[in-house]
Amino acid sequence: MKNLVLLFGLVCSLVLVGCGPRQFVKGQYDENVEDANLLTDKWSESDMQKAVKDLVASAVSHPAIANAKRPPIVMVTRLQNKTSEHVDTQSITDMFQVELMRSGKVTFVDKAAREDIAEEYDYQDSGMVERESKKGKGGQVGADFIMNGRLDSIVQEAGKDKTIYYKMTMNLTNLKTGLIQWTDHKQLRKEYKKKRVGL
């Protein structure tokens, strides 16, 4: 009888362990980071890569950049998130900047570094830096264009079907005239089916 009780307790323990929460305990590097990742129905790195790649190709082929006598100086400002999700828009604009820089057709002004630059100018003017190496105010190069944009989404559900539509729009505005020199958008639509999850 005692052995039967112990066996019953062991079986119950195994069942409870099998039904308990699962954890991710083993991982590996995915060497193909540009392969499609549709693990969830949220904005993903695959969406970002597709959108940025196509929009960069469109931008650098536009006459405002392609036919410029020298690489235009661009300042990337912000990407508005008009979706219902939390999206790291800074990561998107960073990727946009990197891919544009890799093209060799534009150069950039770093808006985020301006405060640090101003502090460094003040330090160099404090007398702590030798005159020959000091960088004074008034020597920076101004941007020719501002690049900004917006990310929108529409989610639709009907029965077991769900579609998520994203549209990323980017603009290149001439700082001298205030006119938009280039604008384009990339559209993405993902489809999902609801399935029962469980034992």
Confidence band, pLDDT 50/70/90 cuts, at residue 125: confident
Q: Does domain 42-128+142-193 have CATH number 3.40.50.10610?
A: yes
DSSP of 54-119: HHHHHHHHSHHHHT-SSPPEEEEEEEEE-SSS---HHHHHHHHHHHHHHHTS-EE--GGGHHHHHH
Please tell me which residue, 197 or 81, carries the higher pLDDT value: 81
Confidence band, pLDDT 50/70/90 cuts, at residue 198: low
Q: Rounded distance, CA 155 to CA 55, Å?
A: 23
What pLDDT is attached to residue 103?
93
Contact indicator for 194, 177 with CB cutoff of 8 Å = no
Task: Give pLDDT tens digits for 23-32.
Answer: 656 666 666 6
Residue 147, beta-bridge partner list: 76, 172
Whether 7 has a pLDDT exceeding 70, the answer reads no
> What value does the mean pLDDT of the chain take?
85
Contact indicator for 119, 103 with CB cutoff of 8 Å = no
Q: Which of 96, 120, 105, 29 is nearest to 68 (CA)?
A: 105
Whether 34 has a pLDDT exceeding 70, the answer reads no
Q: Which of 106, 109, 127 is nearest to 117 (CA)?
A: 109
Task: Give pLDDT tens digits for 174-196.
Answer: 999 999 999 999 999 999 888 76
What pLDDT is attached to residue 35?
61
Residue 182, beta-bridge partner list: 172
Contact indicator for 171, 148 with CB cutoff of 8 Å = yes
Sheet holding 145-158, edge to edge: 107-108, 73-81, 145-158, 161-174, 180-193
Q: Is the pTM value of this prediction over 0.85?
A: no
Task: Give pLDDT tens digits for 71-107.
Answer: 999 999 999 999 999 999 999 999 999 999 999 999 9
Distance of CA 159 to the CA centre of its chain: 31
Confidence band, pLDDT 50/70/90 cuts, at residue 20: low
Structure tokens at 169: 């729009």
